[in-house]
Structure 1
Amino acid sequence: MTDWRPSASIETLRKRAAFFTSIRKFFADCGVLEVDTPCLSANTITDVHLEAMVIANGADIDDENVANACLSPLYLQTSPEYYMKRLLAAGSGDIYQLGKCFRHDELGRIHSPEFTMLEWYRVNFTMDDLINEVSALVQALIGLDTETATYQQLFEQQLGINPHEATTGSLLALSKTKGFGEYADRCLRDYGEHQGGIDALLQLLFSTCIEPDIGLEKPIIVSHFPASQAALAKLADDERSALRFELYFQGVELANGYEELINTEQLVQRFNEDNALRKRIGKVPKPIDNEFIAAMRSGLPACSGVALGVDRLFMLVERKHDIASVMPFQLG
């Protein structure tokens, strides 16, 4: 018999609605504008670790008029980031969005191809300013204070190494002593023995040996990831770390934030590096979003931004085991 019922109870859905209301109240009290950007775009991201869903292509559509309008693929957005930064460049000021995002990702305890994201940007905020605001939001939503640590501190405390000075050989040896030799070898085969391989090994060690044990009692914000893992963040003054942070609670990653890179040429260089790495590991390179680049060139204001997985946070608040139990319906 087909089970048509919601994956969350009606009582949980009422609590979910109240949770959303609390989020909106927080930003209303801060004077941050709510925006609603498109889920569909002709462009997507170059990020090596994320894949967008392709939902339309002219070759698959019979109606000639519709096909002419959809000759290029359309992508469901993995994040509203590019659209929101276009609004910032147009002079929107501080903005937030609470809505659906989509990723061609696994379906599991804390993963769903369709999920709810909270993303916001604060003009003239430094990374530290935004970390303080993330902490204030967490306190408002779940009543807990937030701890902080740097990426380097966690590696030194839990694994006894400085991640900014580690070599491929030292990380490979450490991975093998921790029982992850097979995965470490695969990292090096896929990403090479230079910086790409080092980052893959660092991520392996972080996700297996550090992440499960942090933020167990209180949420923790981890900052200053390696410069090679900067994504779209500015680099710190030491140029070996990035002004990037992540929020964890009970071993679950909840948010990823940056003091935003506003140098357009450096941004394009990072996109090209992404595509080179995608090609190396057998993924299809993605075209750079020219509308986003044009907006950046027009002048993105100095700002910091963060994206937070709302379903995951609400799951932890409700002490549920998986996100399906706090979502109206589980996909699939």
Structure 2
Amino acid sequence: MTTSPPRDPPRTASLPDRLPLLRRRGMMLRATRAFFEARGYLEVETPYLVPSPGEEVHLRPFRTRLEQPDGQTGDIWLHTSPEFAMKRIVADLGLPVFQLARVWRNGEAGDTHSPEFTMLEWYRPGADLASLMDETERLLQRLLPPAIERHGGVIRIDQPFERLRMADAFDRHAGADLLGTAGDAAALARQAGLELRPGEDWEDLFFRLLLERIEPQIGQTRPTFLTHWPAAQAALARRDPADPRVALRFELYAGGLELANAFDELTDPVEQAARFAVDRERRVALRGPDPDAAWPLDESLIAALPRLPDCAGIALGFDRLAMLATGAERIEDVLWLTHRPTKAGCPPAEKL
């Protein structure tokens, strides 16, 4: 796939206008499967309805009711990622796996967000962050043109991707010592030349600086892997044995798009359960007794972690990758049907 993407797709959601972009998306799906199958990956399918949709504090899952044949009912959720289920498969089989999964995240909409989208996830036993970055780079070079024009600039896909540590990014673009100020919001704000907002803690300021100072500067001439996140943002990643202040995690950016999030996977069930407990407390603090934010801990994942081999895994937004490949400015341009709400709250019928 080396042809240049179409320029300036029409700003309309009609299906005939989107068809050339959707054909390109279909080619990318076929090439993705061929890429992983050639590398010995097993394609898997995991349930979309799950008892525990994930523990990321700020994601809002969709809740529904499950009715059993015997009349019993209970809450169940559409997953926000297939991560937990895929790790259980790797723990049981020890094989590299991939999945092109539909995922759901409530309250998300915009040019680069949709409440329902496609996530490409893969996990490889024996991989670390460096080898996973190598593999991700090869995948994008397989799926994307050598050079992409976007927002008046050119992104070179056929050149080595940038690998930038988070601390170096903050030093370069925010003028701040990220790790040296960890937990001290006032010190981080002072170094960055900002005033703290009311109630803003260190993590809030970290993400504000990431959004305002870092992300606009990276991935503009070539994709950038932003690596070695502060330990407070470890999520499901291992801490770096060489520097426990950071987690072995990266995100991938290109042309103003956040494309992927990856971990050198944590296999310690005690530490992971402790992190989940903190996340659950934070979610309660943010949302209170909200039934849409209350679900049981995924004990099956915790039980599987001791069997999980050393591995690295990544979640990549496939629709955003299709946006890069086609030149689309809006995610709905690369979706077959869209979720644009009306004043009544229901998606309108598309004009064919």
Matches within 5 A, 1:204-283: 204-237=208-241, 238-283=243-288
Contact 1:34 1:95 in 2 (8 A): yes
Q: Give the Cα–Cα distance (whole angstroms) in 2 for the partners of residues 286 and 162 of structure 1.
A: 38
Q: Give the Cα–Cα distance (whole angstroms) in 2 for the partners of residues 319 and 230 of structure 1.
A: 33
Q: Check if 1:90 corresponds to 2:92.
A: yes
Post-superposition offset of 1:19: 0.8
SS, match of residue 239 in structure 2: coil
Query: Could you list the runs of 5+ residues in structure 2 that have no partner in the other structure?
Result: 1-11, 147-156, 340-346, 348-352
Contact 1:311 1:327 in 2 (8 A): yes
The aligned counterpart of 1:313 is: 321
Post-superposition offset of 1:66: 6.6
Matches within 5 A, 1:1-332: 5-6=14-15, 9-56=18-65, 65=69, 67-68=71-72, 71-142=73-144, 143=146, 144=157, 145=159, 146-166=161-181, 167-173=184-190, 177=193, 181=195, 184-188=196-200, 197-237=201-241, 238-283=243-288, 284-297=293-306, 299-331=307-339, 332=347
Post-superposition offset of 1:8: 5.8
Contact 2:105 2:115 in 1 (8 A): yes
The aligned counterpart of 1:191 is: none
Q: Give the Cα–Cα distance (whole angstroms) in 1 for the partners of residues 105 and 57 of structure 2.
A: 13
SS, match of residue 239 in structure 1: strand
Give the structure-1-normalised TM-score: 0.88
Post-superposition offset of 1:5: 4.4
Q: Give the Cα–Cα distance (whole angstroms) in 1 for the partners of residues 204 and 294 of structure 2.
A: 19
SS, match of residue 121 in structure 2: strand
Contact 2:62 2:106 in 1 (8 A): yes
Post-superposition offset of 1:92: 4.6
Q: Give the Cα–Cα distance (whole angstroms) in 2 for the partners of residues 72 and 44 of structure 1.
A: 14
The aligned counterpart of 2:149 is: none
**Structure 1 pair 216/129, CA: closer, same or farther in 2 (3 Å)?**
same
RMSD between aligned alpha carbons?
2.0
SS, match of residue 329 in structure 2: coil
SS, match of residue 279 in structure 1: helix
SS, match of residue 163 in structure 1: coil
Q: Give the Cα–Cα distance (whole angstroms) in 1 for the partners of residues 175 and 100 of structure 2.
A: 39
**Structure 1 pair 294/212, CA: closer, same or farther in 2 (3 Å)?**
same
Residue identity over aligned pairs, in percent, reads 34
Residue type of the alignment partner of 1:185: R
More helix by share: 1
Q: Give the Cα–Cα distance (whole angstroms) in 1 for the partners of residues 38 and 199 of structure 2.
A: 46
Q: Deviations over 1:310-329 (max 9, x none)?
A: 10111122111111011111
Contact 1:276 1:285 in 2 (8 A): no
Query: Could you list the runs of 5+ residues in structure 1 that have no partner in the other structure?
Result: 59-63, 189-196
Q: Deviations over 1:200-231 (max 9, x none)?
A: 21011101111022101111101000001000
Residue type of the alignment partner of 2:318: V
Is 32-41 or 285-294 further displaced after alignment? 285-294
Residue type of the alignment partner of 2:253: Y
Q: Give the Cα–Cα distance (whole angstroms) in 1 for the partners of residues 237 and 36 of structure 2.
A: 23
More strand by share: 2
Residue type of the alignment partner of 1:164: L
Q: Give the Cα–Cα distance (whole angstroms) in 2 for the partners of residues 200 and 83 of structure 1.
A: 30
Q: Give the Cα–Cα distance (whole angstroms) in 2 for the partners of residues 4 and 236 of structure 1.
A: 45
Aligned length: 309
Q: Give the Cα–Cα distance (whole angstroms) in 2 for the partners of residues 67 and 321 of structure 1.
A: 47
The aligned counterpart of 2:8 is: none
Post-superposition offset of 1:6: 2.9
